[in-house]
Chains A and B, each alone.
Chain A
Amino acid sequence: EVQLVESGGGLVQPGGSLRLSCAASGLTFSNYAMSWVRQAPGKGLEWVSTISGSGISTYYADSVKDRFTISRDNSKNMVYLQMNSLRAEDTAVYYCAKGFMVRGVRFDYWGQGTLVTVSS
């Protein structure tokens, strides 16, 4: 059974940094693209970033480009999101999602999410 478990969320001040982690199990991890998708309180889904199975290719939403960095460690079945220069508008539940790179990326399974709150 596939499991994706996010961690690392919490309260951070504007301008601060946070690193999210996603631990994957029950799958051949390097076969899948991994992504982060966020959802602000009471709002819809917003794609944040994707990394290919090999880790060679990465993609970012304009809203986080140059502030967030996605990475993965296939030896540990982990994917990370380093978030710098955080803003109030980054407040959201951050979901880790596995999927397939087909032109863009198709998500087929999501973790339960971790809440990031940016506030002074």
Chain B
Amino acid sequence: DIQMTQSPSSLSASVGDRVTITCRASQGISNYLAWFQQKPGKAPKSLIYAASSLQSGVPSNFSGSGSGTDFTLTISSLQPEDFATYYCQQYNSYPITFGQGTRLEIK
């Protein structure tokens, strides 16, 4: 199974900050990597697919990069609605696996 490791596990930041979350795969997954945002009590929302493609309707202050084993999600200027938990997910092969999540909190 491919293990996905996110860092950090939690992060405190302020509105307007630039934030980067990292996701590392235990083996190469090309660009078969997605990012999701989840708010408490809500379903996950798709942000990024194919490592760097923005899902329709997602604000452009979100961006993704990487290939192979190392990936990043960047929020260029944090907005109040961006405070949530973020997950990466590999879809290179079954079983599908997720990172453990990064909780982004208001400083």
Contacts and interface: CB of A to CB of B under 8 A. Distances in A.
Interface of A: 35, 37, 44-47, 50, 59, 61-62, 95, 102-113
B57 to A, nearest CB: 11
27 contacts: A35-B96, A44-B87, A44-B99, A44-B100, A45-B38, A45-B87, A45-B89, A45-B98, A46-B98, A47-B95, A50-B96, A59-B94, A61-B95, A102-B91, A104-B90, A104-B91, A104-B92, A104-B93, A104-B96, A105-B91, A105-B96, A107-B34, A107-B36, A108-B49, A110-B44, A110-B46, A112-B43
Interface of B: 32, 34, 36, 38, 42-46, 49, 55, 87, 89-101
A45 B95 contact: no
A75 to B, nearest CB: 26
Contacts, number: 63
Contact of B49 (A35, A62, A106): A106
B96 A103 contact: no
A61 B95 CA distance: 6
Chain A facing B: main interface SS: strand
Given A44-B101, A47-B98, A50-B96, A103 B43 contact: no
Residue of B92, B94, B97 with most chain A CB atoms under a 10 A cut-off? B94
